Amino acid sequence: MGYLNNSVVTVDAILTNKGRELLARGDGSFRITQFALSDDEIDYTLYNPTHPSGSAFYGQALENMPLLEAFPETTQNLRYSLTTLPRGTAKMAVLDIGYANIALKQGASLAITPQTLNYLGNNQVFESSGYTVTIADVRVLSTFNGVGINTDAAVDLNSTTTIGTNVSSTVVGTTINLTATTINTLFGVNTTLQTTLLIVGRDSGARITVPVTITQTSTT
C-alpha cells in the first residue's frame, strides 16, 4: 500500500479479491460487470467556508489530504461508497437488521433480513440487488449462507469455499442464515467467541458492522 500523488489527477482501479480469483481460474468466468467509487480518506469537516483567503481556498485542506492507493480488501476499502441519489434527497440510506449485536448459543440458528431505511422513499425497505455480508471469522459458524439473490455472481460468491489461512467469508442475499458452531475446541479456555458481521447494501452502499458473540453451552 502506498500514497497517490495528489498533485495530478489519478484513476487507480483494481480488481477485488473475488475478481482476482475469477481471473486466476482462466476458464472465462472473469468478466467485469460492476465498479464502485469511494472517498474513504476524505474528512469533509475540513471544508472551511470561513477561510480568510476566500472561496478558492474553502476546500484547500481537503485537496491536500493524502490519498491511499486502491487495495482489494473489501472489509477495509470502499467503506464509504459514492452513490447516486435522486435530486432533493434529504436523508442518507441506513441499514437496520433489528439487532445492535448478535448473540448465539452453540448450535443456535438465526435468519437476518436487512432493511434499508430512507432508501428510494420511506416505503421501500429492501434493495433489489440484495446485501453483501462478510463474517470476519467464519470458523465460529457452522452455517453461513445467503438466499434471495440468484444472479450468476451471487451464486458463485455464495458457493465459494474458505481455504487456507483465510477465515473471513462473504455471501450475498436478501436473507442471511447463521448457525453457531458446535466445535468446542475453538473456544480453548474461553466460554465465548467474538467476531463481527459487516453488511453492505449493494444498491445504496449503506453499511453496518454488528458484533457477534457465540456462547459455549457444552464442554463435551
CATH number of the structural domain 94-215: 2.60.40.1080
Mean pLDDT, range 147-175, rounded to an integer: 75
**% of the chain at pLDDT higher than 90:** 31
Instruction: Record the pTM.
Output: 0.69
Mean pLDDT, range 134-161, rounded to an integer: 82
Three-state SS for 53-81 is CCHHHCCHHHHCCCEECCCCCCCCCCCCE
In which band, very low, low, confident or very high, does the pLDDT at 121 lie, cut at 50, 70 and 90?
A: low
- How do residues 181-206 score in pLDDT, each as one tens digit? 999 999 989 999 999 999 989 888 88
* Residue 209 to residue 100: CA distance in whole angstroms: 9
| Average pLDDT over all residues of the chain | 82
* Residue 118 to residue 95: CA distance in whole angstroms: 9
Q: How confident is the model at residue 164, as a pLDDT?
A: 46
In this predicted structure, the answer to whether residue 135 has a pLDDT above a threshold of 60 is: yes
Mean pLDDT, range 152-176, rounded to an integer: 74
Q: In what order do the strands lie in the sheet with 102-105?
A: 102-105, 207-215, 192-201, 131-135, 169-173
- Length reported for the chain: 220
Cell numbers given for 162: 474458505
| Range(s) within the chain of domains with CATH label 2.60.40.1080 | 94-215
> CA 201, 207, 213, 214: dihedral to nearest 10 degrees?
20
In this predicted structure, the answer to whether residue 20 has a pLDDT above a threshold of 90 is: no
In this predicted structure, the answer to whether residue 1 has a pLDDT above a threshold of 60 is: no
* Residue 40 to residue 45: CA distance in whole angstroms: 13
Q: How confident is the model at residue 4, as a pLDDT?
A: 67
In which band, very low, low, confident or very high, does the pLDDT at 3 lie, cut at 50, 70 and 90?
A: low
